[in-house]
Amino acid sequence: MKINTRPIREDEALAFRAAIAAGFGEDFDGTTMPEEWFLELFPRDRTVAAFDGDHMVGTLGAFPFRVTVPGGTGVPMAGTTIVTVAPTHTRRGVLTAMMTDHLVDTIERGEPLAGLWASESVIYGRYGFGVATENHEIEIHRERVGIEGEQGTVRLIDADEAGTVLPDLYDAVRVRTPGMLTRDAAWWKIDMFFDPEKRRNGYSAQRYLLHETNGVPDGYSIYRQKSDWSTGFPNGTVRVREVVTTSPPAHTGIWRFLTSIDLFPNIRYWNLPVDDPIRWKVPDHRRIERKRWDALYIRILDVVAALEARTYAVDGVLRLSVEDRFLPEVGGSFELTVTEGAGSCRRIDDAPVDVTIGTSELASLFLGAGSVHSMAEAGLVRGDPDSVTLLGRMFRGDVAPWCEEVF
Ligand SMILES: CC(C)(COP(=O)(O)OP(=O)(O)OC[C@H]1O[C@@H](n2cnc3c(N)ncnc32)[C@H](O)[C@@H]1OP(=O)(O)O)[C@@H](O)C(=O)NCCC(=O)NCCS
């Protein structure tokens, strides 16, 4: 079986979308989204399709995101997505071929990072991706969850008004939160506000809740509702899509509202930041059930550019050997010098180094999460104990990284 890979032509967009749906085991009738929107969202020159003869058997695409890193914003990151291989063609290297094209293309574009969300956690480590953010999936049982603290006012707004106010609030939080991604106008229109029946999963249309303090917007939530009377009692669910707040009163006001809607005692949110302050605002915090998940995976494609893009918690000099089994030319030996929090990095000759680390482990540290200590205990970071400790202290962030955007 000879597999060829290349970007799609414009007349192949429909077949590409059908192949994506088939790869995820879903039906496709072409009506979920207008075709021109699909091409607006997925730059065609950043798609990779795999062909067995004329038959399209693999898909991959990349969004041109920018990601916030500790101390910096807007680092280019290829948002790797729509990764599928036809079930008739799996485990024969099709993904590996597409991933090679995609990562090489990303390097040639001068983007130091790729990032993705994984359907299964076993898939992407081999390509050098590491878990860079985590999240909490929560379910709130609201009896005895009285959210404490001051708040302003909340009101429900329609999608048109949401379109004028949500992007600025999102950006205010994005620039200070490592792991958050840029959203352009097409993203807001197609991913956030386009709300056809097929996206609702049996829930209501999206509701937009705005919080204001002294008339100034400082937070919002997007959520859906589903009522349930099967027990004879009101047992509805609020499914939160996102909560974005720029002030503590907004956080309090929005969560107080979401946990007090009559007839809807169950509140679910799949993507709470792991250090979200809600934990400190409820007296009975066990009523918020939490499950921790891996979220954004990062792949470093240019070690020097990536390490110079972020700031560090403590100063020092470290010579790092970065082992990269999938793209050996990306790895090598580097000297990272941190002065007053700013990093400068250069390639050096191989010997000798202070710490040896794999490219996916470095990616796991990159946004400020990850424990060097536990990686060292697992044998994934090697070096003298002082250097290993310094590595951990340098890379640690003040804020837990969080990626609000699932793509
Ligand atoms: C995930 C998927 C794209 C992998 O495609 P593939 O063409 O089978 O992958 P490859 O043949 O290139 O596999 C490369 C390696 O990864 C392993 N691998 C790939 N997918 C795996 C999986 N889901 N579980 C376990 N191992 C997997 C292969 O065994 C192979 O290992 P090896 O190099 O040691 O032999 C494909 O299984 C798929 O389409 N799954 C359904 C959709 C999906 O989950 N997409 C990912 C969205 S994030």
Domain boundary at 292, 311, 346, which?
292
- Mean pLDDT value across residues 85-94: 97
Distance 95 CA to ligand 1 centre (A): 7
Within-domain flag for 119: no
Same domain, 142 and 286: yes
**Is 39 contained in some domain?**
yes
Whether residue 183 has pLDDT greater than 80: yes
- pLDDT tens by residue, 352-395: 999 999 999 999 999 999 999 999 999 999 999 999 999 999 99
Q: Where are the alpha helices (DSSP H) in 282-371?
A: 303-309, 359-366
pLDDT of residue 32: 78
Nearest CA residue ID for atom 18, ligand 1: 123
Q: Are residues 100 and 169 in the same domain?
A: no
Q: Is the CB of 229 under 6 A from ligand 1?
A: no
Which CATH number is 258's domain given? Answer: 3.40.630.30
Residue 129 placed within a domain: no
Same domain, 59 and 160: no
Pocket test for ligand 1, best of 26, 123, 325 (most atoms within 8 A of CB): 123
The pLDDT of residue 34 is 84
Domain with residue 337: its CATH number is: 3.30.1050.10
Same domain for 216 and 148?
Answer: yes
* Domain coverage including residue 195: 136-292
Quick one: which atom of ligand 1 is closest to the CA of 117? Answer: 48
- pLDDT beyond 80 at 95: yes
Token digits of residue 403: 């990626």
């200070």: which residue's tokens? 176
Same domain, residue pair 258 and 185:
yes
The DSSP H or E segment spanning 106 is helix 94-108
Q: Rounded distance, CA 4 to CA 110, Å?
A: 25
- Cα 154 to Cα 116: distance, rounded to the nearest angstrom: 34
Q: Are 401 and 179 in contact (CB under 8 A)?
A: yes
Q: What percent of the chain has pLDDT over 90?
A: 92
User: 405: closest CA among 198, 170, 210?
Assistant: 170
DSSP labels for 288-325?
A: EEEEEEE-EEEEES-HHHHHHHSB-SS-EEEEEEEE-S
Residues 6+ positions from 401 with CB-CB distance below 8 Å? 132, 133, 177, 178, 179, 296, 367, 368, 369
Residues serving a catalytic function are 124, 407
* Position 402 in a domain: no
- Are both 71 and 168 inside the same structural domain? no
Ligand 1: atom nearest CA of 97 is 12
Asked if residue 364 is part of any domain, the answer here is no
Please determine, for residue 104, whether its predicted confidence score (pLDDT) is greater than 80. Answer: yes
265 and 183 fall within a common domain: yes
Regarding whether 339 and 283 lie in a shared domain, the answer is no
Q: Tell me, what DSSP letter sits at residue 189?
A: I
Q: Which of 292, 315, 333 is the last residue of a domain?
A: 292
Atom 28 of ligand 1, residue of closest alpha carbon: 91
- Tell me: do 156 and 79 sit in the same domain: no
Find residue 225's DSSP bridge partners.
238
What average pLDDT does this structure show over 100-124?
Answer: 98
Q: Is residue 87 part of a domain?
A: yes
SS3 content of the chain, % helix, strand, coil (to 5): 30, 35, 35
Is the pLDDT score of 194 beyond 80? yes
**Residues 164 and 249 reside in one and the same domain:** yes
Among residues 361, 312, 347, 326, which one has the least CA distance to residue 131? 361
Between helices 359-366 and 385-395, what is the axis angle to 10°?
A: 40
Cα(23) to centroid(ligand 1), Å:
11
**Cα distances (angstroms) measured from residue 366 to each of 234, 306, 369, 374:** 45, 8, 7, 16
Ligand 1 atom nearest to CA at 82: 47
Residues 325 and 274 in one domain: no
| Residue 120 within a domain | no
Q: Domain count of the chain?
A: 3
> How confident is the model over 8-41, as pLDDT tens digits?
998 999 999 999 999 999 999 877 788 889 888 8
Together in a domain, 170 and 271: yes
